[in-house]
Chain A
Amino acid sequence: MRIESQSLPSYLKSQGVSWDVSNTKEEWKKILMFPDEDWTIDRGSAYGGYIDSQEQTILDPSRVLARMLCVKIDRALRLKVEKLAIKCIQGLRKEGSYRQVAFEEKQIPFSWILRIAHDGDADSWDPGDFLVYAKLEGGDELKPDIEEIRSIFPKLFDGKDLETSGVRNDSVRAITDVFNENYPLFLERPTLHISAPKFHKVWSKMIGDEDKERTEEGEKAKRQWSMRVNGLFEKLCRNSSSDSVMLQSGGGHVLLLAPATDIKAYSEDLLRKMRQKFVKELGGWAPLLYASWEDDGVAHWKPLTRKTPDEIIRALSTEYDSPSEEKKRGIAGVHWAAFKYGQDGKTDDEISEAIKEGRDEDARFYLDVIGLGEYCWPKPQDPSVDNGIGELSGGPNDWPDPSDWGVPSRPRAKAISGFKNSRKITPVIESTFGLIFAKHRPSHIEAMGGDEMIFQMPSSEWKLLLERVEKHCIQLHSTIFDNDQRLLWWAICLRDRSNQDFTAMKDGVRTLMGEDRVRLTRFVNPIFPEFLVPDDPVDDVLPDDPVDDNGWLMDHRARVLPESTNRCPYSLTHSLVGPDEDGDFYCGDCNVWLGPVFECPDCGLDGEFYCEECDEFMFPDTSCPDCGSAFGDWILEETLHCHECQKEYYGTLWRIPPEDQS
């Protein structure tokens, strides 16, 4: 079985779902309304030894394939929906409504209309009618999918006419009516974006101790929370907003069609209710919650009072280690086994053997989406229109209280656009994770959050993994994901290393691979761990490190740069931040202290250095390794120049005490 929307009916069949006619219709309604995070199929008695894990929702293939189908339907019906919307708007204008309708509102996913209709009357539409409509109005793209559904669930189509096109077809007419009746409601009522934002930052702020976060227990707790938060968030949002229509949910974001009431008061009340439910569910704490609507928003956050960070970490870490959670993570592999499908990818046999180097031990693999937040929720180009606090600098203890971070608000059209983007990319992400389960059968899943998967498998599968993800992405971009090809995934293979923070590395690579520098047509961008280790610069230039008056070795960490590249020795950045109030400079990318006061902004004194360890003033009393001239003039231009030969250096000076010199 292939991982594509056409496999959905046969997959459902293979899982032994025991749906009668009524169940079948209800489940297909849920499928066509873009299933929520917690939708999972009842696998009945065919579920073997996993009967206790029925409720698991980690990456159920039925949900992933269903979402793929919905996105395919969106794409095929896009023009049709726009036409229906325009006609509807014209009708409203005739009735005296002059509300400006944005382009994004004219191209809404059909599933939103189905959800609005379903919310008003659960029997207002029939899934068979919608499938017939999709087949007849969606063009050639959808025909194979609908035919496949018909061959396996024929009762859905009983009495339906699959040939007659246009309004002479009862199904087409019925679904057109559903659109016309419910689209005005969509335009009339406010949309409300609810989220549990800034996952990493909120976690860090809440724990308040970076060392604690990095312990094994701390990391497990965060992983557990990352796997749990989205489903729980969606459930609590639904339970707190019965008077709204949940148009879409996924990835820790929910779009509600709220009642036409005081939206601010409604939002505050909703967040309060959600927080109470979180506190009850989690035993005393809740994440930061946001609600935003047309150009405004509110946040809800309270610092920890009932629980200590240690208690939170212990509870989540224990939950992570529990047999039931272990089983949930493992069972995803069982579900995806049906998608193994053939053998692909090839590597020269000799190279394959050489790669293994006689061993093929498990390594830890990371796969995460590049710039998912920016893709769905881009920052406004004009920061003055953003209520958000922007980038938080320093450590968690330097950050203000999350309630002061500000809620980034968006115009309604931008929020709709974000949810449409999220909806398109979610099946891409989830099906790629499914692909890893199906094809690579990881021995251990460490984490699987919204955009990230950490797993273990033989290190020799690195290349095959990349090839398979590439191929899968090509297929998805040909069918359901119509955005331009781009570098979509970071991939990392770690052998014998536990370093997990690649943030600075990613930022640096992103800068180096800017569109103004290079255009690539692959989807996966590798991060090589060895790349984290800078070259040993001392070997390159300075054969004899000079010694200062006290016998301290002046370790230059300097080298001649090719061309006129200026950058921090520990990062890939070309930018420099500073001077700060002490006259110090920092790497603009990784924030490493670069030490030297290149030029005092007040007196113009240049070339001062400070010891990284003790902050003691140090004068650059060494000389250019090339021409022997003293380094008297250090010129600020993010580069150090020898004033005689004009050769360029970068670097910081460390003084190494005699006893530490090897």
Chain B
Amino acid sequence: MKSAATRFQALWEVLEPPNPKGIPAPSDMREQLMTAYGFPRGDQGIDNSRESAEEERNFAMACLRGEGGTEGQFLWESNNLTSVLASEIGLLPPPADNDSPMRPWFGGDWASMAELVIYIADNQLSSITRPFGRTPTELIRVYPIEWDTAARTQLNLLEARIKLGTRGHKDILLQNKDAKKLGHGQPSRKPTESEWISLCVPIDKLYLISNQLPEGPQSGIPANLWDFIPSGEPGDEVT
């Protein structure tokens, strides 16, 4: 599997194409989105056929209707975006050699992923060229991070710099949380030793949390609504 940073970049470019004037080909978007989620896991290629796009669309639409697909679509790897959607739902088993749990980039917001899958499939099936209309910061919940250890740590707050792909960064405050015990004789890992964090909402929707807090964003994201990813290698747990 490619590195988490590479996969994050691939996802970002699906949602915010580098060339703002042109919309990438559906096959390119499909390939990038599958790369972002660590597919294909084996040697098989990606199926960019029309039939495959129809299957993707039908599966995503059925999920949005509340019907869903078959066990096979949810549980077994395929060579198209049904596996990406199944990963976001959380049912597709992790790769056999994974030591860590998977963390889908949208945090399990499968409905948004279904819409993205439909968008890509429609682009192929109907040759439409409209933009997707939703940005990475409206959807992604797992981000690379830098900790500002020199900054304030009073009031039990941590200051973090979220790296936003091509958009620079955003500084946020987080209420501190305990170190994680990793087990198997490994030492605990503190939040500030991690290089990726997972939020309960995308960056652009942090207001849903901060609007509830007495001092807004200055109160920090409550510790129960964010998590640091403790793996040794950055992004081991990502997707």
Contact = CB atoms under 8 A, between A and B. Distances in A.
Nearest to B69: A530
A143 interface: yes
7 contacts: A143-B214, A348-B119, A478-B225, A509-B91, A528-B69, A530-B68, A562-B76
B71 to A, nearest CB: 6
A522 B198 CA distance: 11
B224 A484 contact: yes
B213 A478 contact: yes
A474 B201 contact: yes
B89 interface: yes
Contacts of A478: 208-209, 212-213, 222, 225
Contacts of A530: 62, 67-70
B112 to A, nearest CB: 10
Given A140-B214, A471-B208, 13 more contacts: A348-B119, A355-B61, A467-B111, A478-B213, A479-B212, A485-B225, A517-B93, A517-B94, A525-B90, A530-B67, A531-B69, A534-B70, A564-B96
A492 interface: yes
A646 interface: no
B103 A474 contact: no
B111 A572 contact: no
Given A140-B214, A466-B111, A519-B237, A355 B65 contact: yes
A477 interface: yes
Interface in A327-342: none
A483 B223 CA distance: 9
B93 A522 contact: no
Contacts of B133: 348
B235 interface: no
A563 B111 contact: no
A363 interface: yes
B234 to A, nearest CB: 16
By Cβ-Cβ distance, the 8 closest A-B pairs, closest first, are A528-B68, A493-B66, A520-B108, A521-B107, A140-B214, A478-B212, A522-B108, A462-B66
A119 interface: no
A475 B207 CA distance: 10
Most buried by B among A139, A526, A530, A562: A530
A522 B109 contact: yes
Interface residues of B, number: 51
Nearest to B76: A562
Interface in A384-417: none
Given A466-B111, A475-B208, A354 B61 contact: yes
Interface of A: 139-141, 143-144, 347-348, 351, 354-355, 357, 363, 459, 462-463, 466-467, 471, 474-475, 477-479, 482-485, 492-495, 509, 512-513, 515-522, 525-526, 528-531, 533-535, 562-565, 572
B18 interface: no
Contacts of A471: 208
Contacts of A475: 208-209, 212
Nearest to B74: A531
B36 interface: no
A141 B71 CA distance: 46
Contact of A572 (B70, B72, B75, B213): B75
A144 B214 CA distance: 9
Contacts of A492: 66
B68 A519 contact: no
B224 A477 contact: yes
Contacts of B94: 517-518
Interface in B202-239: 208-209, 212-215, 222, 224-225, 227, 237
Contacts of A522: 107-110
Nearest to B208: A474
B45 interface: no
Given A348-B115, A518-B102, A477 B200 contact: yes
Main secondary structure of the interface of B (DSSP, over half): loop
Contacts of A564: 96
B7 interface: no
Interface in B88-106: 89-91, 93-94, 96, 101-104
B33 interface: no
Contacts of B107: 520-522
B125 interface: no
B93 A565 contact: yes
B5 interface: no
Most buried by B among A143, A485, A564: A485
Contacts of B64: 347, 351, 355, 462-463
B36 to A, nearest CB: 16
B224 to A, nearest CB: 5
Given A534-B71, A535-B70, A565-B93, A474 B209 contact: yes
A348 B57 CA distance: 14
B63 interface: yes
Contacts of A479: 212
A519 B71 contact: no
A274 to B, nearest CB: 38
Contacts of A512: 75, 90-91, 93
A357 B214 CA distance: 45
A563 B75 CA distance: 11
B63 A528 contact: yes
B68 A517 contact: no
B172 interface: no
A531 B74 CA distance: 8
Contacts of B62: 528, 530
Contact of A535 (B67, B72, B108): B72
B238 to A, nearest CB: 10
A144 B209 CA distance: 17
A363 B66 contact: yes
Contact of B67 (A140, A484, A485, A529): A529
B30 interface: no
Contact of B90 (A140, A482, A513, A562): A513
A493 B68 CA distance: 10
Contact of A521 (B70, B72, B141, B214): B141
Most buried by B among A351, A478, A493, A529: A478
